[in-house]
A and B are shown apart, each in its own frame.
Chain A
Amino acid sequence: MKQFLSFIKKEFYHVFRDTKSLLLLFGLPIAQIVLFGFALTNEIKNTSIAIYDQAHDPASRSISEQFAQSPQFNLVKNIRNQDEIEAVFKAGEAKLVVVFPPNFEQDIQHENKAEVQLIADASDPNTANTLTVYASNIIMDYQKELMLTTTIPISIQTDMRFLYNPELKGAPNFVPGVMALILTLISVLMTSVSIVREKENGTMEILLVSPFNPLMVIISKAVPYLVLSLANVTMILLLSVFLLEMPINGSIVLLYAESTLLILTALSLGLLISNITNSQQVAMIVSLMGMLLPTLLFSGFMFPIENMPLPLQLISNLVPAKWYYIIIKDIMIKGVGFMSIWKETLILTSMTAFLLTMSLKKFNIRLAK
C-alpha cells in the first residue's frame, strides 16, 4: 500500500512538473467550452429573411414592416407561393421565412387568435434557435401593441418549424460532446504516453526488476489520470452551469458515476496502446488518430449519426464516446434516471471489461516476449 501511494505521488509530480501537458490537460477543455459557448453562438445581425404573406392585410403588413426595420433582420424577398419557401432555403437566400396565413387580420379580429409560422434553416442549430426567438419577440411586440387598443385578449401564436435538423441537435448538446471528447482524449493520451515514457526512459526496466508487481505499475498509473479527469469533468460542468447558464437537469451523482465509467474505458484503451507501442510519439499518434477522429466523427456530437450511411452507423457503435454522449445528454438535458440509460451503461461497461482484459493480457512483465 505504501508502495502504491508512493507511486501515485510520483505520478502527480510528473504531471504537475510538466507544465505543457498540464496546460493541455486543463486549457483544452476551457478553450473548447468557451469556443463552443461563445464563438459559435453568432450574434444575430442583418440576417436575411423572406416573408410569405398570404394575407396582405394591415396586420400582416404592419408586422412585415417591423421585420424590415429590425436591425437583426434584412428582408430580402417576398415570396409568392409555397414552393418558393424551399427554393429560398436551398439557394441560401434566407435563414428564416415568416409565413402569414390568409385572413390573418380577420382571424385576429373575429377569433382573437391567429398563427404566424416561422420556418428556420436549422442546419446551424444555434443560429436557427436564436433567429426564431428574435422573430417571436417582434410578433409579441405587435401583439402587445394591439392589446393597448382593445380589452379583448388577443393571442398571436407562432408555429416554429426547423428545416434540416428538426431536433435542433447541437446547441445545448455541445457540453456533453465536449465532455466525451476531452475525457476520451485526455485519458487515452495521457495514460498511453506516460507508460510509454517509462519504457523510453528505461525506468520501466528498473521497475520491472523490483518486487513491485508490474500490474500495480499500471494501476497506479491509472489512478492519477482518473483523478485529473474527474477534476476536468468538474471544471467543464462548472463552466457550463455558470458561464453558459446550462442547467444540469439530472442527478449529479449519476453524471459522475457515468463519467468515471467512460474514463475507465479510456484508461484501459490507453493501457492497451501503451502495451503495443514503444515510443511516446507513436503512442501519441495512435491515441490521436485512434481516438480523436473517431470521437469527433462518430460520437454524434458534431455529425448526426442517423444521417450517416449504414456501415458508418455500425462503426459508430464501437466508439465509447458515442454511448457516453447519449448517456450524458440524457442526464443533463432530459434529466432522466439510471433506468433509462442502463443499456448504454451496460455497453460501456462491457467495452471497459474487454479492453482491460486485453491490455492486462498484453502487458509484458519482461522487456520482450
Chain B
Amino acid sequence: MYDVELNHITKTYENGAVQAVKDVSFGVKKGELFGLIGPDGAGKTSIFRMLTTLLIPDSGTASVNGFDVVEDFREIRKRVGYMPGKFSLYQDLTVEENLEFFATVFNTSIEENYDLIKDIYVQIEPFKKRRAGKLSGGMKQKLALSCALIHRPTVLFLDEPTTGVDAVSRKEFWEMLRRLKEQGITILVSTPYMDEAALCERIALIQNGSILSINTPQEIINSYPKPLYAIKAHKMSALLHALRDSNLVDSAFSFGEWHHITLQDSVTAEQLKVSLQAEFPTVQMEAIEPGIEDCFIQQSLAQHEVEL
C-alpha cells in the first residue's frame, strides 16, 4: 500500500518553456522514509508542491493517502504535514506563539500531540519566548518541524530541511526523522546532500526533472557498473586533466582530496599508475566502494548519453 503515489507526472512553467518535472513515477510505502536526492533545480520542490496540492500537474496523476492531489485537495490538506524549503514561520512571533498558532490552524492543541513533538520541542523550549526570527538555523528548523508535526500528520513532506543547517544539527535532524518514522509517519524528504541519502530507506535520484533510479541506497551502490578508484598526487588539477586526457580512463571526477575514476574495459589499475608515474611521481591509487554521489554522477552521465 502506497501512501504517496505519482504516475507519469509532468510539470512545466512559463507556458511549457521550462520543463521542471518530466514523466515522474514513484511510490512511497506507508511508514517509509523516502528520499528525493538531486541537485538544485532538479525538480524536487515542484514535486513537493504538486503532492501538497499547491500546484497542479500538467499531466499524470498523483495521490496522497489515496486522495487525488487535484480533486481531493482539501482532504490532503487536512492530513499532511509540510515543511517548505525556505524557513516559513512568522519571524515576528515567538517560538511558542508560532507553535500555538499552527496548532489552532490545524484544529488541535499543543497538549494533544505533545508526545509526538516532545523530543524536538524540548530542545527549543528554553527559548520559547524568543521571536522565531532570532533563532539559529538549527533551532528554526526544529521549530518548523514541530509546527509541521503538531497535528500528527499521516505523511510528512520535508523539502530540503537540512539546507543551510550546520553539520551537527543535520545529524540530529536525521536522528529525529528516524524516530518519527518509528511512530508510523510516512516521510518524504528531499535533499541535495548525497551523504544524507544513505540515511533513507529508499531513495530516488533525480536530475533535470527525471528520475534516474529508485532503490535502497545499498542497492543503488551495488548497481555501480565498474570498479571505482580513488587517486591523488601533488598537483591535483594537473592530474585531473591528465586523467581526462588519458585513453586508459573512462571517467574522472574531483571529490575533494581525491579524484574518483573508472577505467576503460580491460585496463588495470597498475597500467594506469605506470603511465602516470613519470609526470606524477607521488601518485597514490586505491580501489574504493562507490558512494551515492558516484552513483549519481555515473547515472546522470549514462542518461545523458542515452539522450544524445
Contacts and interface: CB of A to CB of B under 8 A. Distances in A.
Size range of the chain B interface in the assembly: 20 to 34
Nearest to A14: B92
Interface string B103-147: 011110000000000000000000000000000000000000001
Contacts of A211: 74, 77-78, 105-107
B104 A367 contact: no
Contacts of A3: 104-105, 107
A51 B77 CA distance: 81
Contacts of B82: 205-206, 209
Interface string B59-87: 00000000000000110011010101011
Interface string A135-174: 0000000000000000000000000000000000000000
Contacts of A369: 56
A18 B54 contact: no
Main secondary structure of the interface of B (DSSP, over half): loop
B297 interface: no
B53 interface: yes
A210 B105 CA distance: 7
Contacts of B84: 202, 205-206
Interface stretch (B26-34, B94-102, B212-220, B272-280): B94-102
A20 B267 CA distance: 71
B49 interface: yes
Interface in A207-259: 207-212
A63 to B, nearest CB: 67
A366 B55 contact: yes
Interface stretch (A5-13, A105-113, A178-186): A5-13
Chain A's interface size range is 20 to 34
Given A212-B105, A367-B49, A205 B92 contact: no
Contacts of A13: 90, 92-93, 97
A209 B86 CA distance: 15
Given A3-B105, A211-B77, A211-B106, A366 B54 contact: yes
A361 interface: no
B271 interface: no
Interface string A355-369: 000000000011111
Nearest to B101: A10
A2 B80 CA distance: 21
A366 B56 contact: yes
Nearest to A15: B92
Interface string B141-176: 000000110000000000000000000000000000
Given A366-B56, A368-B55, A208 B107 contact: no
A208 B74 CA distance: 10
* Most chain B C-beta atoms within 10 Å of own C-beta, residue among A13, A203, A206: A206
A325 to B, nearest CB: 35
B104 A6 contact: yes
A14 B90 contact: yes
A209 B90 CA distance: 16
Contacts of B91: 201
Contacts of A207: 105
B89 interface: yes
Contact of A209 (B54, B93, B104): B54
Contacts of A367: 49, 54-55
A133 to B, nearest CB: 52
Given A3-B104, A3-B105, A6-B104, A203 B88 contact: yes
Given A203-B88, A203-B90, A211-B107, A6 B100 contact: yes
B53 A209 contact: yes
A18 B77 contact: no
Interface in A282-337: none
Interface of A: 2-3, 6-7, 10, 13-14, 17-18, 201-203, 205-212, 365-369
Closest 6 pairs (CB-CB, A-B): A202-B88, A6-B104, A209-B82, A211-B78, A367-B54, A17-B92
10 contacts: A3-B107, A205-B88, A206-B148, A207-B105, A208-B54, A209-B82, A211-B106, A212-B105, A366-B56, A368-B55
Given A209-B80, A367-B55, 18 more contacts: A3-B105, A6-B100, A6-B101, A13-B97, A14-B92, A203-B89, A205-B88, A206-B82, A206-B88, A206-B89, A206-B102, A209-B52, A209-B53, A209-B54, A210-B106, A211-B78, A212-B105, A212-B106
Interface of B: 49, 52-56, 73-74, 77-78, 80, 82, 84, 86-93, 97, 100-102, 104-107, 147-148
